[in-house]
Structures are given as structure tokens and as C-alpha cells.
Structure 1
Amino acid sequence: MLNIGSHLSTANGFKNMGENALKINANTFQFFTRNPRGGKAKSIDEEDIADLLEIMKENNFAVLLAHSPYTLNACSADERTREFAIETMTDDLKRMEYLPNNLYNFHPGSHVKQGVEVGIKYIVDMLNTVLKKEQTTTVLLETMAGKGTEIGRTFEEIAEIISKVELKEKLGVCLDTCHVYDAGYDIVNNLDGVLDEFDRIIGLDRLKAIHLNDSKNPFNSHKDRHETIGEGSIGIEAITRIINHPKLRNLPFFLETPNELEGHAKEIELLKSVYK
């Protein structure tokens, strides 16, 4: 079975997201934990979450993926921004325990001319502060396209962060197809080679989820602009190989393409038609 979903709005609650996932023939979804451009989170509605858990159980949902707000930058040059990142992720991980045993994804951040080593130290410091032995959530570092001073543009940077975190068992990686292609990993012509490199540097056991996106920009552009499946520079043939690859096919795939619900339904239909 192809475990596939899209990014859904939390505006009308968790039950609504579950129902919308079913409408587009998905069996998972991604959602923001709070305002993606701010920091405010809605109060927890335990009845609403219970309704979602029932939908997931009845429809054999795959693992869900929560996404931190874009404002979270653990390696900012601004101390208050770094404090906000710690406060936000701490709160998010507490809230995630209402949806136990799922995934939480975040962008490693931008070091803003402080240098990669300084940036990595700040990210490690945050993770060593917020991760707890008792949490059931696996926190994922997302692979980035490398625009500006982003950290996470190379597998080596992600591996270095993981190596310095105390509770490594709580960490994984979310591979974004648009990001890695834009970062210079040729998943179109050398998917096996990229996965071998990932395995050698990070370990494929760390790969827990895939953001499945086409790219508006060419290979190695370091731009990070997502495109609808099959309409970008990655293309449907390469994406078909990705979702069918024996090392990837059982992972959950999450669409972040520029589409509304109806468009995501068509993309999911297309992907299921080429999944073998």
C-alpha cells in the first residue's frame, strides 16, 4: 500500500483533517502544529483528537507528520529567536503526546552568517534541551535546498547534528525531494547513488518520511520552490522510481505541492496509478 497524504489545514480541527484525508483518498497527512508564520497554537480539544484517532484506526492510517512553524530558527544570531525555538518545540512535543507515536518535522534553520559550526552547535543545544526520554514522538530534521545560510543542505551537516545529540534514538530525517534535488543530489539520474550516500553518511534507518514534491527550478539551483507532481524538473518518471524504490516504498510520503484539496486528490490518484 502506498502511504500517501498532503499538507492539510488545522483550521477546522483534527477530525476535519482526517475526513479531508479520506476525501482525497489519502491514509495520512501533514499539519502545522501552530501558526506557521507566527507562534500561536490553538488550545487542545481532546474530544476532537479522539475523533481523529478513531478515524485513523478505522481506516488504517499510516503515521502522521506534524510540522513546526517556519518562524522556528534554532540557530539564529538573535538570542530571543533561539529561545523562541526552544520554547516552541518544547510545547509542541508536549502537545504531540495527545497523538502518540507520530512524527514531528522541523527545518534545521539558518545560521545568518555565523557559520555552519556555530549554527550546528545551537541546533544541538536546542535538541539536547527539548528531547525527553519519555516522549513517543520522533523528531525529524528536514533536508534543505541550501538557499541563503540554511543548515541541512548536505547529508554531512545533518549527520553532524545527530552525532552530537544525546537522545539520538528520538531523531530521524525527513527527505524532501525538491530540496535534495535543488541542493545537488541527483535523484533523477542517480537515485541509487544518492540513497547509498545517505546510508553511508546518515543511515537509512534514520529516514522516517519523505516530502514528495516536484521542483520549479533546475538541478543544483539551491532555490526551494515546489511544483506539482510531474510538472517540474524532477518529473513523473523519477518520482515513480522514488515511490517504488525498495528502500523507500514503505515510507510515508507527504505532498507539499502548490495545490488545493482537489488538486492533491488528482496527484494522489496519479501516484497510486504508478505505484506497483
Structure 2
Amino acid sequence: MLNIGNHISAAGGFLAMGKEAVSLDANVFAFFTRNPRGGRAKKIDEEDITKFNAFCRENNIIKLVAHAPYTLNACSGRENIRQFAKETMADDLKRMEYVPDNYYNFHPGSHVGQGVQIGIRQIAECLNVILLPEQRTTVLLETMAGKGTEIGRSFEEIRAIIDKVLLQDKIGVCLDTCHVFDGGYDIVNDLDGVVQQFDNIIGLHRLKAIHLNDSKNSMGSHKDRHEKIGAGNIGLKALTGVINHPKLRHLPFILETPNDHDGYAGEIAMLREKYIE
């Protein structure tokens, strides 16, 4: 089965998100843990979550890939911003325990001129503060396009962060197709080679989810502008190759394309038709 879904608004609560996913024929989905452009989070409604967990079991929703807000920067040059990232992520991971055994994805951050090695060290320091042995959530580092001073533009940078994390069983990776393409990885003409490179450098056992997006930009542009499936420079054929790749096909695929409800439903239906059972 193709495990596919999209980003769903958390405004109506968990049960509302689950119902939206089912209406799209999704069996996985993503949501922002709080305001993606701020830091405020809704109060946990335990009754809503109890109903949601039951709804997921009844409707075969198998995985959530929660997303941290964009405002976090664990490798900022300012200590107060790094502290905000630690506090927010620690709180998010406590909240994720209400929906255990899922994923929490975040953008590693931007070193803002401090240098890559300092940025990598600061991100790992953040993770070593927030990760706890008893947590049931796996935290995912997202591969980035490399605009500005972003950390995570290469598999080597992601691996360098992972190597400094103490609780190795709590850390994984989310690969974004738009980001790696914009970052210079040729998933159109050499997907097998990119997958092998990922395995050699990071290890495929670390890859837990894929953000499936087309790109408005050319390969290596380092710009990070998502496009609808089949309407960008990656193209439908290449993205169909991703969902059917023998080493990737079992993963949850999350659409982050510029779409509305009907658009996501159409993309999910199209990709299900392209998936080889």
C-alpha cells in the first residue's frame, strides 16, 4: 500500500485532522505542532486526542509526521533564539506523547554566519537537551535546499549532526524531494545513485519519511520553492520513481505542494494510480 497524505491544518483539533485525512484517502499526514510562523500552541484536549487515536485505529491512519514551526533556529547566533528552540521543541515532544510512536520533523536551522561546524554543534547540543530515553517519538532532521546559511544542505551535514547525538535511537531523517533536488542531488536522472549515496553517508535505516514535492527551480538552485506534483522541474515520472523505489516505497510520503483540498485529493489519487502494488 502507498502510505501517502499531506499537511493538514490543526485548527480544528486532532479528530478533525483525522477526518480530513480520510476524506482525502490519506493514511498518513502531517501537521504543525503550533503556529508555524510563531510559537503559540493550543491547549491539549485529551478527550479529542482519545477519540482521534481510536479513529486512527479504525481508519488505518498509520503514521503522523508532525512539523516544528519555521521560527525555530537551534543554531542561531543569539542564545535567546537557541533557547527558544530548545524550550519549544521540548514542549512539543511532551505533547507528542499523547500520540505516541510517531515522528517530529524539524528544519535543522541556519548558522547565520557563525560557520557550518559551529551550527552543527549547536543543533546537536539542542537535541541532546530535548531527547529523553523514555520518549516514544522519533525526531527527524529534514534535508534542506541550502539557501542562505542553512544547515542540512548535504547528506554529510545531516550525518555530522547525527554523529553528535547521544540517544541514537531517537533520531532519524526526513528527505524532502524538492530540497534535495534544489540542493544538487539528481533524483530525476540518478535516483538509484542518490539513494545509494544517502545509504553510504547516513544509512537508509535512518530514513523515516519523505516530503514528496515537485520544484519550481532547476537542480542545484538552492532556492526551495515547492511545486505541485508533475508541474515542476522534477516531474511526475521521477516522483513516481520515488514512490515505487524498492528502498523507499514502504515509507510515509507527505505532500507539501501548493494546493487546496481538491488539489491534494487529486494528487493522492494520481499517485495511488501510479503506485505498483
Question: C-alpha displacement at 1:261, in angstroms?
Answer: 1.2
Read off the aligned partner of 2:16 and give its amino acid letter. N
* 2:259 counterpart of 1:259: yes
* 3-state SS, counterpart of residue 145 of structure 2: coil
Aligned to 1:201: 201
* 3-state SS, counterpart of residue 77 of structure 2: coil
* 3-state SS, counterpart of residue 35 of structure 1: coil
Root mean square deviation of aligned Cα? 0.5
Deviations 1:101-125 (A, max 9, x none): 0000000000001000010111011
- TM (norm. structure 1) is 0.99
Aligned to 2:64: 64
Q: Distance in 2 between matches of 1:215 and 1:168?
A: 32
Q: Distance in 1 between matches of 2:239 and 2:121?
A: 35
Question: C-alpha displacement at 1:65, in angstroms?
Answer: 0.6
Aligned to 1:121: 121
Q: How does 1:5-44 map to 2 (within 5 A)?
A: 5-44=5-44
* 2:180 counterpart of 1:180: yes
Q: Distance in 2 between matches of 1:16 and 1:262?
A: 17
- TM (norm. structure 2) is 0.99
Question: C-alpha displacement at 1:94, in angstroms?
Answer: 0.4
Read off the aligned partner of 1:2 and give its amino acid letter. L
Unaligned runs of 5+ in 2: none
Question: C-alpha displacement at 1:146, in angstroms?
Answer: 0.3
Read off the aligned partner of 1:228 and give its amino acid letter. K
Aligned to 2:233: 233
Q: Distance in 1 between matches of 2:38 and 2:240?
A: 36
Aligned to 1:161: 161
Aligned to 2:213: 213
Question: C-alpha displacement at 1:82, in angstroms?
Answer: 0.2
Where has structure 1 moved over 3 Å in runs of 4 or more? none
Question: C-alpha displacement at 1:206, in angstroms?
Answer: 0.1
Question: C-alpha displacement at 1:63, in angstroms?
Answer: 1.1
Question: C-alpha displacement at 1:28, in angstroms?
Answer: 1.2
Aligned to 1:138: 138
Read off the aligned partner of 2:31 and give its amino acid letter. F
Question: C-alpha displacement at 1:168, in angstroms?
Answer: 1.0
Read off the aligned partner of 1:145 and give its amino acid letter. A
Unaligned runs of 5+ in 1: none
Q: Distance in 1 between matches of 2:261 and 2:29?
A: 12
Deviations 1:100-159 (A, max 9, x none): 000000000000010000101110110000000000000000000000000000000000
Read off the aligned partner of 1:222 and give its amino acid letter. H
Q: Distance in 2 between matches of 1:51 and 1:243?
A: 31
